[in-house]
């Protein structure tokens, strides 16, 4: 029996959200938790397609409101529909630690995702994800309001976005 070394991805959905929040604050923009979920989803999509690797280990679920990283939902639900506050970033030292944790090649992709999707409203992003096959296929057989913890597969993501990103 051979020993396999499993390297756990250190990056979490909340790390990506904090990176986007940091950029938004710098731009004088606000982000609701709903919009943040979609930005983090597209960050995952783009890294998977462009770099052929998972941005983080957590699966993204096909909720009625669109793709959701459950741990990020738990972290941001205190904000409800209000914009995420700067307090979410933590201390300056925590921000420095976050920035040093993100590889340059990933930051380049995150910046592209931010540029492409940040100008859209949360509703526009929900509509966009609802029109795309990965979310539609994962929710097949469910009503519009049925909750599910079905994970959107990487295969569906690659099939949908592989030629478009």
Residue 23 lies in a domain: yes
Mean pLDDT of the chain: 94
Q: What are phi and psi of 146, to 5 degrees?
A: -65, 130
Q: How many CB atoms lie within 10 A of CB 113?
A: 21
Residue 54 lies in a domain: yes
Mean pLDDT of 2-16: 74
Q: For residues 49 and 159, what is the distance between their CA atoms, to the nearest angstrom?
A: 9
Q: Which long-range contacts (CB under 8 A, 24 or more apart) does 30-34 make?
A: 30/83, 30/84, 31/83, 31/84, 31/118, 32/79, 32/81, 32/82, 32/83, 32/84, 32/122, 33/73, 33/76, 33/77, 33/79, 33/80, 33/81, 33/84, 34/65, 34/81, 34/122, 34/125, 34/126
pLDDT class of 35 with cuts at 50, 70, 90:
very high
Q: For residues 53 and 56, what is the distance between their CA atoms, to the nearest angstrom?
A: 9
Q: Tokens 């990103």 label which residue?
A: 165
Q: Which domain holds residue 34?
A: 13-161
Residue 5 lies in a domain: no
| DSSP tag of 55 | S
| pLDDT of amino acid 158 | 95
Q: How many CB atoms lie within 10 A of CB 43?
A: 25
Instruction: List Cα–Cα distances, 78 to 23, 39, 87, in angstroms.
Output: 21, 19, 12
Residue 74 lies in a domain: yes
Mean pLDDT of 61-81: 97
Residue 7 lies in a domain: no
| pLDDT of amino acid 162 | 87
| pLDDT of amino acid 140 | 96
Q: For residues 93 and 76, what is the distance between their CA atoms, to the nearest angstrom?
A: 21
| DSSP tag of 165 | -
Residue 66 lies in a domain: yes
Task: Using a pLDDT cut of 90, give the percent of the chain over it.
Answer: 92
pTM: 0.93
Tokens, residue 145: 């309001």
Q: Tally the domains of the chain.
A: 1
CB–CB of 21/31 below 8 Å?
yes
Mean pLDDT of 148-157: 96
pLDDT class of 3 with cuts at 50, 70, 90:
low
Residue 3 lies in a domain: no
């Amino acid at each position: 029996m051979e020993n396999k070394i499993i390297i756990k991805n250190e990056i979490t959905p909340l790390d990506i959200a904090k990176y986007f929040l940091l950029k938004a604050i710098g731009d004088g923009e606000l982000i609701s938790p709903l919009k943040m979920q979609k930005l983090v989803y597209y960050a995952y999509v783009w890294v998977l397609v462009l770099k052929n690797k998972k941005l983080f280990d957590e699966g993204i679920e096909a909720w009625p409101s669109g793709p959701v990283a459950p741990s990020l939902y738990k972290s941001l639900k205190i904000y409800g529909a209000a914009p995420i506050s700067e307090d979410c970033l933590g201390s300056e030292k925590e921000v420095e630690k976050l920035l040093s944790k993100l590889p340059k090649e990933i930051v380049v992709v995150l910046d592209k995702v931010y540029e492409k999707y940040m100008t859209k409203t949360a509703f526009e992003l929900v509509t966009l994800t609802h029109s795309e096959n990965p979310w539609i296929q994962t929710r097949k057989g469910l009503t519009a309001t049925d909750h599910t913890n079905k994970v959107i597969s990487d295969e569906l993501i690659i099939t949908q976005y592989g030629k478009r990103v």
